[in-house]
Structure 1
Amino acid sequence: MTTAAAPELLAHQAALVLNEASTGWILTSTALVLLMTLPGLALFYGGMVRKKNVIATIAHSTAALAIVTVLWFLVGYSLSFGTSGPATNPFIGGLQAVFLDGVRIDTAHSLAPGLPEFLWIAYQLTFAIITPALIAGAFAERMKFSATLLFFALWHLIVYVPIAHQVWGGGFLGAMGVLDFAGGAVVHVNAGVAGLVCALVLGPRHGFGRDNMAPGNLAYTAIGTGLLFVGWIGFNAGSAWAADGIAAVAALNTILAAATAALGWMFIEWIDRKRPTLLGLLSGIVGGLVAITPAAGLVDPKGAFFIGLIGGPACYAGAVWLKRWLRYDDTLDAWGIHGIGGIVGALLTGVFANAAINGVADGATVLKQALGLLSVIAWSAIGTFLILMICKFTVGLRVSKESEIEGLDYSEHGETIHG
């Protein structure tokens, strides 16, 4: 009786050598990062818009989860982390794993041979989900929901997937030594730049600079911040892909940088506006979380402290002063916090990366980080602009003035918040 030969591994795969401790930690991290989008980001953003737009804003995060999950299964994972042969494409992955063909219970990705590949797919999916959801903060309160759906789908395939491959999946940015431990460039700078392009193309909300556009419910935003903070431990410490010392230092660095940035934002705001605000403290926490993301498992706590100390005021400058000077309407500061914070964190990774913490930090430079950022910024900006033009000339971009004044909750979804 002959035994059937084991199926041949795909180019990106390795035979699974199960590490149960790491598998348990990444299962937990996958849940934590998913928590960041729903309900974390949904509440964080939902609380900062006016009451008439809360449902529509929460719908953005929900739609991003649904659309990206399906696309990741169909083709996104293969194009991000798959390869078509021994020579990896520097810009985009292969099509061998579309519909997850070839992924089995006993396969692992070659980047993480101790984890089941199905888990690796799920963990990376959670990063792909939150990135377009972050962009929605820039166009909240004025973009048509149909345009949002089309934008999310095209942006995932044209912008997120190639950049993820270029930095993490064996592409040219990773090969040239650009360091991005948990998504400073792939997630935050990418989303921040896209958000700025969206804000500029759509133009300001009606009444911007004149009407009262204060947050409708800061309690929602505070709860959302707490959920984001907890989830970010999975985001950063999970990016060690193992239950080890790097994961431990990444977790500590994440908490330290967020706290330091919150204080930095608060003191700058206190000087600038003569009083500290809860929204400022919450925004400072998120700014610190963004800034430490590319460096979390590459620096020691002293480095994390300085990244937070610089990142908090830098995000304040981006979200308050820069927006005031240039008068663009980045509704919820997707660019001001995620774009600016991600750029600052990525550059400071080149300053503070410590080979004693993580061997891959050896050879890190600010120049490499800057070149990587320029590439990501250019790809994201050009790709986003082209996608917006597709949306504009198909389903249209903005709701009518009457719908915007009425509020997108009712005009787009036929729902309202009572009480």
Structure 2
Amino acid sequence: MASSNMNIPSGYVSSASSPDWLNKGDNAWQMTAATVVALQSVPGLVILYGSIVKKKWAVNSAFMALYAFAAVWLCWVTWAFNMSFGEKLLPFWGKAKPALGQKFLIRQAELPATAHYHKGGSVVETAMSEPFFPMATMVYFQCVFAAITLILLAGSLLGRMNIRAWMLFVPLWLTFSYTVGCFSVWGGGFLFQWGVIDFCGGYVIHLSSGVAGFTAAYWVGPRSSKDRERFPPNNVLMTLTGAGLLWIGWAGFNGGGPYAANVVSSMAVLNTNICAATSLLVWTCLDVIFFKKPSVIGAVQGMITGLVCITPGAGLVQGWASIVMGILSGSIPWYTMMVVHKRSALLQKVDDTLGVIHTHAVAGFLGAALTGLFAEPTLCNLFLPVTNSRGGFYGGVGGYQFVKQIVGALFIIGWNVVATTIICLVIRLFVPLRMPEEELTIGDDAVHGEEAYALWGDGEKYDITKHGWLSDETNHDNNKVPSGVTQMV
């Protein structure tokens, strides 16, 4: 019998680095999915943020995203991964401990709290999740999700948050807000056990980042009045580049949700693109109908709302349902942003720079609710731990599923409002949340001593008092431009 191994290619023979439980296809897909999700943040959102703001905030906006990506990594492997996916400490929180030791990282992945008990009793209905790849892959995949959540949240705060306050905010919010939602919905917490459906982040990532971003924007305060009145993108083509990375990267975002290269993953990727395309087209058509011009930035917003809306049900709905979800995600957030926002005193007061409350919170809530209607029974049984789950459209227990979806959303909203508020109040005891007025006036040059573009004089600045060029080291207000020199903002 030993000689039979001679007929087996060496790549398929078990070894210390390729144990029996390892499925190389699943592992390769999961690492690929994680990498393209990482590319959504760096460089995707770094480029998008750096180009969609005024020229004077390009560096600061891009750096907020880059810093968050780095800071989340260290916090994640030191304590936050196990708070999100480890052993249960509380019904909504896991036990904090490092994910750094080799014995932990090279063993088969497992999420210990995800064993599902029938109707909350002692009988196991679905065993805990044990994907056929190592814990190192799981830690990597989930880290890039945590990182992009903070970066999406940052979209509400661009153009005025004190960078030192942001440096404190990232680890605190990751620890006391993200890990709670993550464990509750995905890691085996009470919403997971109850059967709330979030295929790949409608609650954990999008609803939480949208609500927390809006809440933080309230406490940080608004941009300067000049910036609020006029805040044009400094480079629309680069905005499209960042948006393109975001869209294509969503194949890893939703396609990695099943933790396997299986049929559910394929359905998720297909539905993601269908919904995003539909939503973009609907948003663009509404812009043309009501504003007579197709807005490129509007198209990007429609793309994002479609991607967000499909996320909670990506692998669980049929293709026709993803079209319906795209129609609604291209119209309802459009209405809240273009109509409701202008009529609401609260929305007008809170300066949510990129409208994350609309593109992520509204779209995320919408997707979660629609998943409660359109989740197809056969697809649910391929993925969900609660057997016989279904959306309200399919009768039976589907109506109760819709109620679960709404209650789950209300918990995520409530926790993020309270936790984000407390975090902001604590930070401002030590560091001002908002930049001083001088930095708000000048922008990147005052905050970082760097600028995104050399627009005249090859990086030198024009001294209006002496009518001459100053070197880069001279600290002058780069907004003072002589008459006849056009300034891009």
Whether 1:294 and 2:330 are equivalent positions in the alignment is no
Partner of 2:38: 34
- For 2:448, the equivalent position in structure 1 comes to 413
1:97 and 1:103 in contact (8 A); partners too: no
1:74 alignment counterpart: 78
Q: Partner of 2:90 in structure 1?
A: 89
Q: Are 1:340 and 2:362 an aligned pair?
A: yes
Q: 1:9 is matched with which residue?
A: none
Equivalences for residues 6-405 of structure 1 within 5 A: 17-83=21-87, 89-97=90-98, 99-100=100-101, 102-110=103-111, 111-207=129-225, 211-326=229-344, 327=348, 328-359=350-381, 360=384, 361-362=389-390, 363-364=397-398, 365-405=401-441
2-structure distance, mates of 1:209, 1:56: 15
SS in 2 for 1:240: coil
Q: Can you list the C-alpha shifts for 1:25-62, whole angstroms capped at 9, x where unaligned? A: 11110110000101111112222110000110010111
- Partners in 2 of 1:16 and 1:75 — Cα distance? 29
The structure whose Rg is larger is: 2
TM-score w.r.t. structure 2 length?
0.79
Q: Which amino acid aligns with 1:72?
A: W
Q: 1:113, CA displacement in angstroms?
A: 2.8
Distance 2:169 2:371 in 1: 31
Q: Given that residues 83 and 96 in structure 1 are in contact (C-alpha distance below 8 angstroms), is that contact kept between their aligned partners in structure 2?
A: no
Number of positions where the alignment pairs a residue of Structure 1 with one of Structure 2: 401
Unaligned runs of 5+ in 1: 1-14
Q: State the Cα distance separating 1:218 from its structure 2 match.
A: 1.0
Alpha-carbon distance in 1 for matches of 2:20, 2:162: 45
Report which stretch shifted further, 118-127 or 311-320.
311-320
Question: 1:101–1:171: structure 2 CA closer, same or farther, 3 Å change rule?
Answer: farther
Retained in 1: the 8 A contact 2:131–2:259?
no
More displaced stretch, 327-336 vs 208-217: 208-217
- Distance in 1 between the 2:46 and 2:179 partners? 23
Q: Secondary structure at the match of 2:132?
A: coil
Q: 2:109 aligns to what SS in structure 1?
A: strand
What's the offset of the Cα at 1:263?
1.1
Q: Is the 8 A contact 2:220 2:433 kept in 1?
A: yes
Where 2:377 maps in the other structure, the secondary structure is: coil
1:341-387 CA-partner distances (Å, limit 9, x unpaired): 10100100001000222313435521100000000000011000111
| Superposition deviation, residue 324 in structure 1 | 2.0
- 1:336 is aligned with what amino acid? H
CA gap 1:95/1:194 in 2 versus in 1, 3 angstroms = closer
Is residue 82–residue 97 contact of structure 1 (8 Å, CA) maintained in 2? no
Report deviation, 1:235. Answer: 0.2
CA contact (8 A) 2:92 2:180 kept: yes
Shift of 1:89: 3.1
Higher relative contact order (CA 8 A, sep 6+): 1
CA contact (8 A) 2:52 2:235 kept: yes
Q: Distance in 1 between matches of 2:356 and 2:302?
A: 13
TM-score (normalizing by structure 1): 0.92
Q: CA deviation at 1:319?
A: 2.8
Q: Greater CA deviation, 340-349 or 97-106?
A: 97-106
Partner SS state of residue 254, structure 1 = helix
Write the letter of the residue equivalent to 1:103: F
2:319, 2:140 → 1: CA distance? Answer: 29
Residue 166 to residue 262, structure 1, CA distance change in 2 (3 Å): same
Q: CA deviation at 1:271?
A: 2.2
User: What's 1:5 paired with?
Assistant: none
CA displacement at 1:243 relative to structure 2: 0.7
The amino acid that maps onto 2:94 is G
Distance 2:159 2:218 in 1: 14
Equivalent-residue separation in structure 1 for 2:166 and 2:132 (angstroms): 38
Distance 2:58 2:406 in 1: 37
Displacement after TM superposition at 1:96 (Å): 5.0
Cα pair 1:29 1:123 within 8 Å, conserved: yes
Deviation, 1:211, is 3.0
Residues 165 and 432 of structure 2 are in contact (CA less than 8 Å); yes or no, is this contact kept in structure 1? yes
Q: Which runs of 5+ in 2 are unaligned?
A: 1-18, 112-128, 391-396, 456-489
8 Å contact from structure 1 (residues 16, 116) kept in 2: no
Give the Cα–Cα distance (whole angstroms) in 1 for the partners of residues 154 and 338 of structure 2. 19
Q: CA deviation at 1:99?
A: 4.2
Q: CA deviation at 1:325?
A: 2.1
